[in-house]
Amino acid sequence: MRFEKFSKQVFHAFDPREFNKLINAPFWDSVKYFTKILAIAYIIMAILLVPKLVTLKSEIQDQLSKFDSFSVTGIVSQSESIRIPAKEPLIVIDATGSEVIPNKERITITRDSLFYKFFAGRKEIPLNQIKQMDKPVVSRLIIYFFIFILPSLVFFTFGSFWLKYFLFAVLIGTIVFLMADLTRFSQPWKTCVKSAYYTSTLIILVEVVSSAIYAKWMVSLFSFWNLNIYLVPLVAWLILSITFVSLLHFSKLKRKHSKD
């Protein structure tokens, strides 16, 4: 039922005869709509990035080969083990010298070894290999660390994308409102902001997917939170929103005349 409603919203967003239905719906319906569009675009982007992740290990090894020499020395002493977090830890560091038996934690570091829990089971790496910068070992650890933080990375990057488009929809809606207010196409501010959310379909899909393939054509203006703000999508979004509001105005006039 929800998919049916969403699919109807997508079709209505491209049909001027249905613009009035979208605008008359609650404001948060438009926010939910653009969030779903963003989720679809994000999934497509993630799929397109998979080949890059496959080659990441070899690229890391190539970069590590740039070290002419690398050594790590140090003396560590502990009175008791470190557990992060304290309850049901994900990481345990125990250099007390006592026998350590890895349990449910994902990473266990002792005086001599690093144990990490992966899909295929628990693996052990002698710390000497890390200190001597063994390229296959270090690259494997970096890949594992990346996978380990991947859920947090997905959450924060999606959240950043969401905030970016949420704020720019408000900005574009406000610009459209001010421009329309100077003409005969004047519409309430909330209507103009809703129009920005509903016209974001192609903008979000094209921009997010292009960012994983080739982004130079979009012309980067600046960046914040490591998110690029592109000129071409913004201009296209503004034009689409102005068109939406203009067509909405004519649609209302047509209904008014038909009633008369």
**Gap between the Cα atoms of 218 and 201, Å rounded:** 16
Whether 138 has a pLDDT exceeding 80, the answer reads no
Instruction: Give residue limits of the domains in the chain.
Output: 3-7+16-54+152-252, 71-132
Of all residues in the chain, what percent are helix, strand and coil, respectively (each to 5)? 65, 10, 25
∠ Cα 90 91 93 (to 5°): 155
Q: Looking at the DSSP assignment, which residues form a beta bridge with residue 109?
A: 93, 114
Per-range mean pLDDT, top range of 120-134, 171-185, 213-227: 171-185
Query: Does residue 153 or residue 169 have the better pLDDT?
Result: 169
Q: Which pLDDT belongs to residue 153? A: 73
Q: Which pLDDT belongs to residue 75? A: 55
Mean pLDDT of the chain: 78
Query: Does residue 39 or residue 147 have the better pLDDT?
Result: 39
Whether 131 has a pLDDT exceeding 60, the answer reads no
Share of the chain above pLDDT 70, in %: 65
For residues 115 and 102, the answer to whether their CB atoms sit within 8 Å is yes
Mean pLDDT confidence for 32-57: 85
Least reliable range by pLDDT among 84-88, 194-198, 246-250: 84-88
Q: Which pLDDT belongs to residue 180? A: 87
Q: Which pLDDT belongs to residue 227? A: 79
Q: Which pLDDT belongs to residue 21? A: 87
Mean pLDDT confidence for 43-48: 90
For residues 216 and 52, the answer to whether their CB atoms sit within 8 Å is no
Q: Which of 34, 4, 5 is nearest to 195 (CA)?
A: 34
Mean pLDDT confidence for 154-171: 91
How confident is residue 86, by pLDDT bands cut at 50, 70 and 90? Answer: low
What confidence tens digit (pLDDT) does each residue in 181-208 have? 888 778 899 999 999 999 999 999 999 9
Mean pLDDT confidence for 19-39: 91
Q: Which of 234, 194, 215 is nearest to 22 (CA)?
A: 194
